[in-house]
């Protein structure tokens, strides 16, 4: 038998993860080696398990799919990322592709399309669902993370997501292994770069840019 494709599932909803695992495990060519519920788990599991493909949800707590993809590709360039999300807007799709994803499939796609996408990226090709191509073209492929977002550092984007999810500066400091004054500094820089006047503005900004989602 040909070598199986080793897959890491990154999805914060357990029911969806179970459905994806059931689908993939029903095909002998695929092997689901682990599951993750947030971006930080993805990075830790990728380091120890070296998957071939990460099926990556965009909206996850702690570290979203776009940031997780960016960091994963920087640390493990051999690993291929396939974005899987409810989002079909061009700006979100483009953000995933700019972060290094090799493909993108909406969650409402047929199961056969997800299988086709995994096979395609494993061949070294890109796969973007026809269902999101129109929006991707309209977005200009560069507007997804434009404006102020492009000026944020990796750490500032992490802090922004955690602030938008309601974590205090002390909680964020503990999660990231930094001091509280350092988190305050990052928060101030984020607010200056985005023009936010308070946490409510940061939450709206994070949701608009696909960094966080209302249900997280």
CB atoms closer than 10 angstroms to residue 2: 6
> What pLDDT does 24 receive?
96
> From first to last of its 216 residues, what are the pLDDT tens digits of the chain?
468 999 999 999 999 999 999 999 999 999 999 999 999 999 999 999 999 999 999 989 889 999 999 999 999 999 999 999 887 777 788 888 888 999 999 998 889 999 999 999 999 999 989 888 766 655 554 444 455 567 888 888 888 888 887 888 999 999 899 999 999 999 889 888 888 888 878 877 877 776 666 554
Helical pair 154-164 and 199-208, crossing angle rounded to 10 deg = 110
For the entire predicted model, the pTM comes to 0.73
Q: Are 125 and 60 found together in one domain?
A: yes
Both tokens of 164, joined, read: 């938008």
Instruction: For 44-70, write each residue's pLDDT tens digit.
Output: 999 999 999 999 999 898 899 999 999
d(CA 82, CA 79): 10
The DSSP symbol for 126 reads -
CATH assignment of the domain containing 9:
3.40.50.2300
Instruction: For 135-146, write each residue's pLDDT tens digit.
Output: 665 555 444 445
Q: Are 135 and 151 found together in one domain?
A: no
Instruction: Name the region of 124 (left: φ>0; alpha: ψ -120 to 50; beta: rest).
Output: left
> What pLDDT does 87 receive?
77
Q: Are 82 and 170 found together in one domain?
A: no
Q: Are 96 and 202 found together in one domain?
A: no
Q: Are 134 and 157 found together in one domain?
A: no
CB atoms closer than 10 angstroms to residue 110: 9
Answer yes or no: is 171 within a domain: yes
Domain of residue 168, residue span? 147-208
The answer to whether 85 touches 59, Cβ cutoff 8 Å, is yes
CATH assignment of the domain containing 196:
1.10.10.10
Answer yes or no: is 36 within a domain: yes
The structural domain count of the chain equals 2
Q: Are 157 and 135 found together in one domain?
A: no
Name the residue with tokens 């500094």.
185
The DSSP symbol for 151 reads G
């Amino acid at each position: 038998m040909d070598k199986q494709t080793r897959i890491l599932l990154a999805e914060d909803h357990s029911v969806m993860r179970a459905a994806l695992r059931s689908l993939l495990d029903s095909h002998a060519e695929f092997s689901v080696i682990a599951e993750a519920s947030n971006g930080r788990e993805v990075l830790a599991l990728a380091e120890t398990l070296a998957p071939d493909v990460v099926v990556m949800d965009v909206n996850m707590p702690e570290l979203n799919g776009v940031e997780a993809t960016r960091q994963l590709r920087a640390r493990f360039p051999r690993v291929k990322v396939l974005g899987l999300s409810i989002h079909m807007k061009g700006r979100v799709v483009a953000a995933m592709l700019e972060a290094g994803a090799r493909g993108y499939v909406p969650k409402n796609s047929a199961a056969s399309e997800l299988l086709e996408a995994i096979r395609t990226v494993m061949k070294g090709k890109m796969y973007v669902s026809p269902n999101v191509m129109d929006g991707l073209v309209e977005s200009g492929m560069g507007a997804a993370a434009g404006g102020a977002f492009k000026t944020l550092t990796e750490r500032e984007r992490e802090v922004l997501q955690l602030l938008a999810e309601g974590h205090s500066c002390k909680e964020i400091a503990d999660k990231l292994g930094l001091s509280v004054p350092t988190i305050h500094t990052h928060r101030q820089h984020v607010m200056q770069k985005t023009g936010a006047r308070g946490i409510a503005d940061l939450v709206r900004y994070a949701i608009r840019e696909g960094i966080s989602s209302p249900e997280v």
